[in-house]
């Protein structure tokens, strides 16, 4: 089943993300984590792509396990900056052979020390989208950035590039994490005005530790509102309290989104099934309303 068909259903959909192990030794643990998250009846589970291609081989294996063994829709990430064009085509072919219909097309981070751009690599995500389109009837997702991509100085440019990417064949978008819903609502208004009409899944990340907050800020440049910083200041030194507060904050974000008509939400669960389960428990009656 194509994810876009599910997103177009008139009901609430909550999905989750898992990431492959850094080494083959951690594969079974990730499979166990994925099995636990699948028990939460998600709309789909996405599987990230290994940085520098180091764990990319496990992306297809995990996505296939989700689809074939757990009978849950799977979304395989595919990045192009860390792979040659031929390597990208091999991955697309492998996903097709495995019957995986849904791909999240990303440029990805540029590996340190790599010469980029180069002739044998796709430079932009829209080029990857076009390549995927040439190889079959995939449902293609892509990323978007409510606070603007860190490499674009002007938000107008960011939206113009996003429109180019969507027009290349993107079926739906998933946002980078954000912690102020007003940023998301403003972003939706601006992209709709620009003619971008595909479904947009807000990406929610439960921040359950001070270290996770710092890492998220360093990687994405996201802005943390004063309310969140107060929570971190008060509870950051207590792991148990910060975990509970982070789950509550993420739950509050989701409830506000649902109350404002958003029906499709993606949760960056960071391979923590207990956090995912706690959020779904908090939403148990809300998603039925």
Domain ranges of the chain: 3-288
Q: Give the contacts of 19 (CB within 8 A, at least 6 positions apart).
A: 30, 47, 48, 270, 271
Peptide bond into 117 cis (omega under 30): yes
Least confident of 93-102, 150-159, 186-195, 200-209: 150-159
Mean pLDDT of 117-127: 90
pLDDT at 52 over 70: no
Torsion angle, alpha carbons of 30, 108, 276, 242, to 10: 110
Active site residues: 17
Can you give the pLDDT at residue 25?
Answer: 85
Q: Given pLDDT bands bounded at 50, 70 and 90, which one contains residue 151? A: low
Burial of 42 (0-12, 13-18, 19+ CB in 10 A): buried
Residue-wise pLDDT for 177-207, tens only, equals 999 999 999 999 999 999 999 999 999 999 9
The length of the chain in residues reads 289
- Cα 105 versus chain centre, distance: 11
Q: What is the DSSP letter of 231?
A: H
Exposure pattern of 239-260 as b/e (b: 16+ CB <10 Å)?
eeebbebbbebbbebbeebbee
Q: In whole angstroms, what is the distance from residue 183 CA to residue 223 CA?
A: 10
Q: In whole angstroms, what is the distance from residue 166 CA to residue 82 CA?
A: 22
Nearest of 48, 113, 60, 107 to residue 83 by alpha carbon: 107
CATH of span 3-288:
3.20.20.220
Mean pLDDT of 125-135: 97
What percentage of residues in the chain have a pLDDT greater than 90? 78
pLDDT at 63 over 70: yes
């Amino acid at each position: 089943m194509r994810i876009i068909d599910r997103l177009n259903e008139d009901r609430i959909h909550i999905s989750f993300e898992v990431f492959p192990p850094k080494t083959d030794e951690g594969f079974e643990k990730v499979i166990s984590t994925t099995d636990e998250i699948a028990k939460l009846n998600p709309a789909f589970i996405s599987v990230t792509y290994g940085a520098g291609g180091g764990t990319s081989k496990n992306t297809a294996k995990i996505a296939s396990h989700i689809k074939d063994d757990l009978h849950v829709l799977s979304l395989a990430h595919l990045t192009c900056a860390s792979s040659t064009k031929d390597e990208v085509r091999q991955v697309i072919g492998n996903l097709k052979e495995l019957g995986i219909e849904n791909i999240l097309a990303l440029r990805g981070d540029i590996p340190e020390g790599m010469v980029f751009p180069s002739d044998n690599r796709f430079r932009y995500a829209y080029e990857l989208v076009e390549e995927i389109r040439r190889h079959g009837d995939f449902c293609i997702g892509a990323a978007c950035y409510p606070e603007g991509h860190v490499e674009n100085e002007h938000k107008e440019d960011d939206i113009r590039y996003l429109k180019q990417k969507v027009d290349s064949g993107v079926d739906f978008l998933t946002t980078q994490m954000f912690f102020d819903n007003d940023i998301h609502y403003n972003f939706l208004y601006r992209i709709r005005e620009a003619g971008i009409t595909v479904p947009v899944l807000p990406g929610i990340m439960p921040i359950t530790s001070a270290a996770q907050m710092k890492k998220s800020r360093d990687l994405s440049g996201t802005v943390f509102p004063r309310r969140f910083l107060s929570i971190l200041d008060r509870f950051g030194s207590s792991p148990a309290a910060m975990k509970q507060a982070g789950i509550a904050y993420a739950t509050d974000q989701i409830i506000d989104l649902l109350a404002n008509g958003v029906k499709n939400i993606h949760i960056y669960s960071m391979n923590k099934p207990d956090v995912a389960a706690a959020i779904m428990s908090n939403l148990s009656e809300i998603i039925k309303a």
